[in-house]
Structure 1
Amino acid sequence: MYLDTTSKLIEAEIFSVMPDSFRRIGMRTDWADANRPGEATDCFIEGPSFDADGNLYIVDIPFGRIFRIASDKTWSLVVEYESWPNGLKIDKDGCIPVADYMHGIMQLDVKAGCMRPVLTPRNSESFRGCNDLHIADNGDIYFTDQGQTGLHDPTGRVYRLASGRLDCLIDTGISPNGLVLDRAEATLFVAMTRDNAVWRLPFMKDGSVSKVGRFCSTFGTSGPDGLTMDKAGRLFVAHASLGHVFVFAPNGELIARIKSCAGPACTNVAIGGNNGYHLYMTESSTGTVMVADISDESLRKA
């Protein structure tokens, strides 16, 4: 896929920016040294997800922080701990599991202001580096174990945690990252960042996957990152180096692109607002949350 200038272009606008009081200016971290060498990193936000009251939760990976952004755009620190929280989702009951790069799958206890382990080792073996997760309607948690995998080491894993049972769906992933189920929960889409593609994983009757293929391919120095899907089955793909979120129809056609107004590192996405007609996007390197109109009228192809 090239940067198709015939697809509908939607401009994003700034929703909120991390206040200076929360930025860790001049502080180095092991995470930034490994993943953003030579770049000043006073924050790196990811994992947007809304609670039932309309508060937006995000993670700040290198400094082990989780923030809540209220509807009036006020930021508050929910928890800070020794780790690298990478992805976050809020389920229909208000539980907040977190894909933690350092520890595995954790859960945020908002009232207590602390993190609790859900799944840290697997058969006494640590994960390579959990990245993101998705929660099915029945509560099953799908998550990616990315680590530093890539074309040189295609051993990233995609898991399903169901009623205490852990199933490995893929163990040949090329940097598995964001993921989302389709509306029927019959197919899982997974961003494979360093393959610069989104893979399509259809489920068989026994819950395994088969006939895995590339749903779409992109380009650039990074690749697809966070994913979400709207009620119409349109797939939104945040690209971590092209400064866009790409919108694909259920058949794989590129129908729109949403352009960042803050920077190129569009890492993750969440749908919110009245009737689910707004897309919220994290631009990680600047600590900016952007928003764009994704109503049917806005997405109608030019």
Structure 2
Amino acid sequence: MKNMLLLYILSFSMACGANKPTPKAATTSLVADGATLQLVSDQFKFTEGPAKDAAGNVFFTDQPNNRIWKYNTDGQLSIFMENAGRSNGLYFNTKGQLLACADGNNELWRISMDKSVQVLVKDVSGEKLNGPNDVWENASNGDIYFTDPYYKRDYWTRTEPARPQHVYLLRGGKLTTVATDLVKPNGIIGTADGKRLYIADIGDNKTYTYTIEKNGSLSNKKLLAAQGSDGMTLDERGNVYLTGKGVMIYNAQGEHLQTITVPENWTANVCFGGVNNNQLFITASKSAYTLLMNVKGQ
């Protein structure tokens, strides 16, 4: 009888234990063990637009000084281009050319590595853009998406937006609007498979995710985070990196995973680079930094 009672108690305890939720494993830091921010340089006026080429070199802008810089995989810094159209956001297309939000004249440029420039977009039905800010190309079909917020520049004569602050699609030379309900769209990035687009509405302090349809239009708008962002990037796990007061990392479900503190007043943009694509490159005010990560860029 005693043995049967013990067997019953043991079975009951095991059953109860099986029904208990399994504790979640501790979240592993996305930053490499022991890694700290490494200052590249603080010689700039305001850094923006980091973009990685196929080799892992990172190009970025010093917009007020009208330059595009190159930080190569050996850690060497050099000026790639002077008189760079007051470029802001950059992105490498599949042909190894830089797409540049050149808001000196409110245009979208394509820059070859020999520094020749082609103006892809100069106006909308004869009206100037506000000032292209951030850009992404869908590698699966060459579609180009860019944001067009208004930020007053001291080199402009106009003092108000030229037109509504929209997000545009350039497909086959034709320009269309794909998002018209945002207050001030800024950061933009898409997934490597070309199926999802993230857009930050910095004017409403929110970041959204969209489905990219076959015709290039956007659908299924969903809130990712109640936080805006200047620039954005993605890692191989689908985590989204937002910028502003440091770098804030969210998973694809919108859960905040980690914050990287940056010792500057403003963190403008971020991308992955380096030979192994696991070096986070951060543009922040007058400086640029790198940080070794446990993950790679997408």
Secondary structure at the aligned position of 1:62 is classed as helix
* Aligned counterpart, 1:195: 204
Q: Is 1:289 aligned to residue 289 of structure 2?
A: yes
Shift in alpha-carbon separation, 1:253–1:65, aligned structure 2, 3 A? same
Task: Please give the per-residue CA displacement for 1:189-224, whole angstroms capped at 9, x wherever unaligned.
Answer: 101112111122223454322342321013xxxx41
Q: Is 1:78 aligned to 2:102, yes or no? A: no
Amino acid at match of 1:237: L
**Retained in 1: the 8 A contact 2:282–2:290?**
yes
Q: TM-score, normalised by structure 1?
A: 0.76
Deviations 1:239-294 (A, max 9, x none): 2xx2x21111111111122221x3131111111234432221111x2222232414
Distance 1:204 1:290, change over 3 A: same
Contact 1:179–1:188, Cα closer than 8 Å, also in 2: yes
Q: Which runs of 5+ in 1 are unaligned?
A: 1-5, 24-42, 297-302
- Residue in 2 aligned with 1:215? 224
- CA shift at 1:109, angstroms? 3.1
Question: Which has the larger Rg?
Answer: 2
Distance 1:114 1:44, change over 3 A: farther
Contact 1:89/1:134 (CA < 8 Å) preserved in 2? Answer: yes
Structure 1 position 13, deviation (Å)? 0.8
Give the distance between the partners of 1:94 and 1:268, measured in 2 at CA.
Answer: 20
Partner SS for 2:73: coil
Unpaired segments ≥5 residues, structure 2: 1-26, 153-160
Residues in 1 aligned to 2:239 and 2:196: alpha-carbon distance in whole angstroms: 13
Alpha-carbon contact 1:247-1:256 (below 8 Å) kept: yes
Partner of 2:238: 233
Q: In 2, are the aligned partners of 1:178 and 1:225 still within 8 Å (CA)?
A: yes
**What per-residue deviation string (whole Å, max 9, x for no partner) do you get for residues 116-139 of structure 1?**
312111211110110010111122
**How far apart are the structure 1 equivalents of 2:137 and 2:66?**
22
Residue 47 of structure 1, CA deviation: 0.7
Once the two structures are TM-superposed, the CA of residue 173 in structure 1 deviates from its matched residue by 1.9
Of residues 30, 37, 42, the one that matches 1:13 is 37
Deviations 1:81-119 (A, max 9, x none): 2732111111232111101123310122332x3533121
1:8 CA drift (Å): 5.3
CA distance, structure 2, for counterparts of residue 163 and residue 15 of structure 1: 40
Q: Could you say what secondary structure the match of 1:123 adopts? A: coil
Report if the CA contact (8 A) 1:48-1:58 is conserved: yes
User: Which residue matches 1:269?
Assistant: 270
* Structure 2 counterpart of 1:31: none
What's 1:110 paired with? 113
Cα–Cα, structure 1 residues 139 and 18, in superposed 2: closer, same or farther, change >3 Å? farther
- How big is the alpha-carbon RMSD for the aligned residues of Structure 1 and Structure 2? 2.7
The alignment status of 1:52 with 2:50, answered yes or no, reads no
Tell me the secondary structure at the aligned position of residue 172 of structure 1.
coil
Taking a change above 3 Å as real, the CA distance of residues 273 and 172 of structure 1, as seen in their structure-2 partners, is same
TM-score (norm 2): 0.77
Contact 1:177 1:191 in 2 (8 A): yes
- Rounded to whole Å, the distance in 2 between the matches of 1:53 and 1:7 is 28
Stretch moving more, 133-142 or 177-186 = 177-186
8 Å CA contact 1:268, 1:281 repeated in 2: yes
CA distance, structure 2, for counterparts of residue 7 and residue 176 of structure 1: 32
